[in-house]
Chains A and B, each alone.
Chain A
């Protein structure tokens, strides 16, 4: 089952009716849990078993941590052992038996880890129930590809769920439609060009490869942003607020700005559960740079088991360290170089786009081939996919508008569907989505991580 299927629409319809009429908090929780497992069982039953076992394991570990809170060292040991076991499960599926990897494992394990750490830190209630923990880890709008919520942000919402209102429904439907547009009209259409070129990079000219790397830059963003918008919209209809995952990342002026706008929930998770525990910026300059670099390496390895992802993470780590060094030394008055925001934005965009090459290429050798052919402007088949131009232009228009009218922030505002104009514009948008949707592809890229 996925967000763009009829069975999902039926599930949501039934859920909305049930949640509208049922007021008992306990019953609502059972409904949410069952709905989540029905959704997830659509992928595979063994995967559902893994999800349930890991959820119960996490809750039991959390329970033990809370019981030993007075004995800090014991509680810490339980936390460490539990997280190690969770990581071993992830490593086993990611590096040993990738063919058996349950969908969404990389995402819900991060949430499970946050549950344990938050329990250890006392950020969530000691008496958090098993059902609450299971709903959190297997909450269906985010179980497949996030957003990666922290336990302390999600669990309180279970007891203060917002009721379904017209406004909430209207917002949810519109955000979901925007996500569907990003996925079906933009990302899947671009996948046509990206897949064919990355399958045989030796055939294409350097210019075509460069252009296709831009196509992938757009595809990845719209694919994941589309998914995230649908996830946030679904949760919103059900009365939950999930972390926003994207905020016009390609408008970012530098690497740190980029990570505040790209996959925000993961960046925030990494900052809180990796970067800060490593010492963050509290242990001196050199250690801060090392921590930044290591955090990016962890991010790369989380995405995939191949050297490509390691390289991607490492290069981003280098980018972040260089940027921090640049800012730090300027603060200390060691130089007075300043780059105009427009130029730094362009540089950052191309830096990020170039690093998506190893992220997408089949292996390190292909990444090298693509880099080399682009840099040497190697002749080959000339292929400039027209939709890349169109969607680049669309992105530029949205970003331009955001810069001028919304301080560089995502300008999405729901229409008022009470008004006739809102209804007409939204209907036209839906028709355009149906007309221009591409139905040849389908899988969400990040579901593969």
Chain B
């Protein structure tokens, strides 16, 4: 919601404040032209201090100490397909963006999912906050207000749900069925169609940044959990003049030489959950390299 404050402590610890548009950004004036970053909870930077998010590190690298050169529209649940389905809306709302950077933590979509990613969601008046609140029953509004003004009740309710389900409430981490099948010609074609579709919508620079999940193995190595379609994805991007950043080599280098695990915090486990400060720095550096080119 616009102008709201939140405290996150499930992973890491952070305070966040949303701006007038409802996105989490620092309270600085937006430059006339700027880089726009879109994505899900990793981009929103859940559980990280705002200054440590890759968008804000990049902002500093670009010299934006007092202004926003990078504007973050990341939101939990806005996975790659959601962003592409709202691509028209993004372009309409942010016409002054110099480049659009889309973050994703997986490429594990099947052929149908790639094609469905092109179906534009369009503007739905019933999806706005005001409409949703207006459509709520008295009871639902009461529950919402109680949770808003009595955070303890919210926490206890969340704990109750967790105890009942024995699963953590949706925190923005992907839960869709991942695709790990064979990549046939139709798969390549669908990916190419999607990239061509995105390219056809704008002349702006488009960057897709992909950071795979990892797991720490028994032998002490760090395994990248990919589905093996990175090359096909990179090829489709290249054909359509879209920059593709695969964080795999950066993560590998960070682990091998500096023992850095890109996911996990001091109050969770290493290799699980959201990208941490070190991963965000690496992502910012990788994007900066592309922008410099």
Contacts and interface: CB of A to CB of B under 8 A. Distances in A.
A203 interface: yes
Contacts of A384: 266
Interface string B203-231: 00000000000001111111000000000
Interface residues of A, number: 25
Interface of B is mostly: loop
A200 interface: yes
A385 B266 contact: yes
Contacts of B221: 203
A6 to B, nearest CB: 10
A440 interface: yes
A85 to B, nearest CB: 40
A387 B265 CA distance: 12
A226 B272 CA distance: 28
B166 A381 contact: no
Given A200-B218, A203-B222, A385 B156 contact: no
B289 to A, nearest CB: 26
B259 A382 contact: yes
Nearest to B166: A439
B268 interface: yes
Interface in A327-386: 379-386
Given A196-B270, A203-B220, A439-B163, A381 B156 contact: no
Contact of A193 (B156, B168, B269): B269
A156 B269 CA distance: 49
A434 B162 CA distance: 11
Contacts of A203: 216-217, 220-222, 270
Contacts of A431: 152, 156
Among B163, B166, B217, B259, the one with the most A-chain Cβ atoms within 10 Å of its Cβ is B259
Interface string B163-184: 1001010000000000000000
A200 B216 contact: yes
Contact of B159 (A192, A200, A205, A434): A434
Interface string B248-268: 000000000001110010111
A383 B152 contact: no
Contacts of B168: 440
A205 B266 contact: no
A200 B259 contact: no
B267 A202 contact: no
Contact of B220 (A193, A200, A386, A387): A200
Among B162, B163, B217, B220, the one with the most A-chain Cβ atoms within 10 Å of its Cβ is B220
B155 A435 contact: yes
Given A203-B216, A205-B259, A435-B155, 14 more contacts: A193-B269, A196-B216, A196-B270, A203-B221, A203-B222, A381-B216, A381-B270, A383-B266, A384-B266, A387-B267, A435-B152, A435-B156, A439-B163, A440-B166
Contact of B259 (A201, A380, A386): A380
A382 B266 CA distance: 9
Interface string A383-424: 111110000000000000000000000000000000000000
